[in-house]
Structure 1
Amino acid sequence: MTTEESRKKQTEAAELDTLRAEIDRLDQELVERIHARSKVAMAIGEVKKRYSDSPVFLRPGREASMLRRAAEKHGDHPFPASSLLRIWREIIPAVTSLEGNLSLAIEEDEAAVAREHAQVHYAVSLERQHFPDRDAVARAVLSGEFTLGIIRADINDPAWWRQITTPDASGRRLHVILQLPFIDGPVGGIPRDKAWVLAAFEPEASGADISRVLVTTDAGLEIHEISGDDSVVPSWAAAQGYAPEQVHVLGFYPEAVQLKA
């Protein structure tokens, strides 16, 4: 090795050491920020418990807004937007679980659609259990044993939807709160078949939502989807000529984040 080559090698090593030291500093800062975020989440949980006997810790509408803001802030940065949002999807449920219990009841099927969506969209640290069919998932969530239920979306059975979203003797019912995948675009590892997320608490508006309603007609039961949260349903029903008692809201869910190809 010549003297010039040795000098270049030393200069390269010095520059790389400086940059790697900066990466180490940023990594440490990331850990500290996550710890700080977790501490705030636990404080939020304590406030909710103090003022409510049955607090709701999960806020799907707020989560959707947070992910949209992150995608917008990210812009055209060369770091893959799908990877950034995947990091957020790991952080948000994990931190939310520090506020209060967060668990998943997952429908098991041959294609493993619900299982794969649960792996992609929810933190690996969350408690989860697989059930043989959608009825078992619905019972597990309605009983309060699990916070969320994830089922395949290819359910063209209006009567089943009516059954699980009609209040029981205690007033509890299930709501559609999310459709998966929530991140739409060139993302690897996400099943293209869709899944529904069910909860025993009401969904939350995110600012860009889709309502899912069941309508009783002379021909039978029909499922419709409407742009907007459930506040738009009465005007939609009136415009369609439906009486209020004909329309039953199954829930509403945030529109997916659209990533650029």
Structure 2
Amino acid sequence: MSEHIPSLADLRREIDVLDDQIQDLLRRRAEAVRRVAATKQSQGSLDNGAFLRPGREAQILRRLMERHRQGLPPAALVRIWREMISALYDLQAPLKVAVHAPNKSAARWDLARDFYGSTTPMQLCNTATAVMRAISAHPMTLGVMAPPEEGERESWWPMLAGRANDTPRVIAKLPFVPNPRGRLAELGAFVIARTPPEESGEDCTLVVVVANEEAPSMARLSTLLAQAGLDGRVLAQQHGAGDGGSRMLVEIPGFMAEGDARLAALIAAEPGLIADAVVIGAYPVPVAEVIVSLSVTVEEGCQP
């Protein structure tokens, strides 16, 4: 007897059944999020963006990527989950996104939209100060910030070098999973919010080092970092900080919290040079994606 070959009608009916099952599972997931929100509300932990779990979300996406074998391209799989996660934010608190667009460039709008979903309200801000005002006016606002550039007129990262409880912190880096077929492959962004960063298991920390000299030796700084047990690299500098000193944005592998003993050791190593070192956030290391027969690799270090 010949093997039965399903007709197109049979296959389409199978797709309809699968669609119904997917929709039912989405409904169940939304209900689970509602229960989580209710529990957090009873514990008073939904204030000031505390419902955001950047570390937990990174773990979810990494797990999905690890078990992904075939079917959808990995970037599409992540986009679907990010759309779902972002849409379900509203069950906990109304989220907004302010996109930093220096030089009136909207290039990172799509990058932000890809990660935070089509239903999340977004606004374009052509200055870092405008983003900070948006976050101050609405604590549930995320800022998607352009990476620091040499000679930029306004740097956003020194604005985070305070220790007040409501000072925004870096919580993510985009894109988390690059899409090599998209036009946004060369772009990047840091995400800031009025919520503490969260450890994901593979992270990088950003520290603002305040120096008493306007142009400190980078070699000397690297030596002091190494002596304090910190394998850091300078991403950006701000000279002439108004007091004759300078500020440096340093990226350090691993997750660090404010008050880490290594930062105290850095300052103590040469207090005449290092005035302060402030953790301004941390982010889950993005996944580096190489699509070769739908294979996925995770690149070591802090670079996506």
* Category of TM-score, reference length = shorter chain: 0.7 to 0.9
1:161 aligns with 2:157: yes
Tell me which residue corresponds to 2:108: 114
Q: 1:32 to 1:245 in 2, by over 3 A?
A: farther
Q: Distance in 1 between matches of 2:90 and 2:192?
A: 17
CA contact 1:153–1:194 (8 Å) conserved in 2: yes
SS in 2 for 1:258: coil
Higher helix share: 1
SS state at 1:248 partner: strand
Q: Is the 1:205–1:229 Cα contact (8 Å) retained in structure 2?
A: yes
Q: Cα offset for 1:237?
A: 6.3
* Bigger Cα displacement from structure 2, 171-180 vs 109-118: 109-118
For the residues of structure 2 that align with 1:163 and 1:107, how far apart are their CA atoms? Answer: 14
Give the superposition deviation at 1:236: 6.5
1:34 aligns with 2:26: yes
Aligned to 2:227: none
**Deviation of 1:256 (Å):** 0.4
The letter of the residue matching 2:277 is V
TM-score where L is the length of structure 1: 0.84
- The 3 A distance-change label for structure 1 pair 58 and 242 is farther
Q: Aligned pair 1:225/2:251, yes or no? A: yes
Amino acid at match of 2:96: S
Q: Deviations over 1:62-96 (max 9, x none)?
A: 1111000000010x324311111111111111112
The 10-residue stretch of structure 1 (203-212 or 183-192) with the greater mean CA deviation from structure 2: 183-192
User: Do 1:165 and 1:174's aligned partners in 2 also have CA atoms closer than 8 Å?
Assistant: no
Equivalent residue for 2:265, pick from 238, 247, 255: 238
Could you say which residue in structure 1 is the equivalent of 2:174? 180
Task: Write the distance in 1 (CA, Å) between the matches of 2:131 and 2:266.
Answer: 35
Is the aligned partner of 1:137 residue 2:163? no
Secondary structure at 2:108 match in 1: helix
Matched, 1:193 2:216: no
Question: Once the two structures are superposed, what CA deviation does each residue of 1:4-32 show, in whole Å capped at 9, x if it has no partner?
Answer: xxxxxxx86x5222222111111111111
Runs of 5+ in structure 2 lacking a partner? 217-245, 292-304
CA distance, structure 1, for counterparts of residue 163 and residue 117 of structure 2: 30
After TM superposition, give the deviation of residue 235 of structure 1 in Å.
3.0
- State whether structure 2 residue 68 is matched by structure 1 residue 67: no
Q: Which amino acid aligns with 1:20?
A: R
Q: How many angstroms apart in 2 are the aligned matches of 1:90 and 1:226?
A: 30
- Taking structure 2 as the reference length, the TM-score comes to 0.73
Q: Distance in 1 between matches of 2:137 and 2:206?
A: 23
In the alignment of these two chains, the number of paired residues is 248
C-alpha RMSD of matched pairs (Å): 2.7
- AA at the equivalent of 1:227: P
Match for residue 99 of structure 1?
92
CA distance in 1, matches of 2:155, 2:289: 35
* 1:154–1:222 distance in 2 versus 1, CA, 3 Å: closer
The SS at the match of 1:183 is coil
Alignment CA distance shift 1:98-1:152 (3 Å): same
Q: 2:256 & 2:111 partners in 1: Cα distance?
A: 25
Write the distance in 2 (CA, Å) between the matches of 1:65 and 1:17: 39
What's 1:251 paired with? 281
In structure 1, C-alpha distance between the alignment counterparts of 2:270 and 2:252, rounded to whole Å: 14
Q: Deviations over 1:149-176 (max 9, x none)?
A: 11211345797523334145xx410101
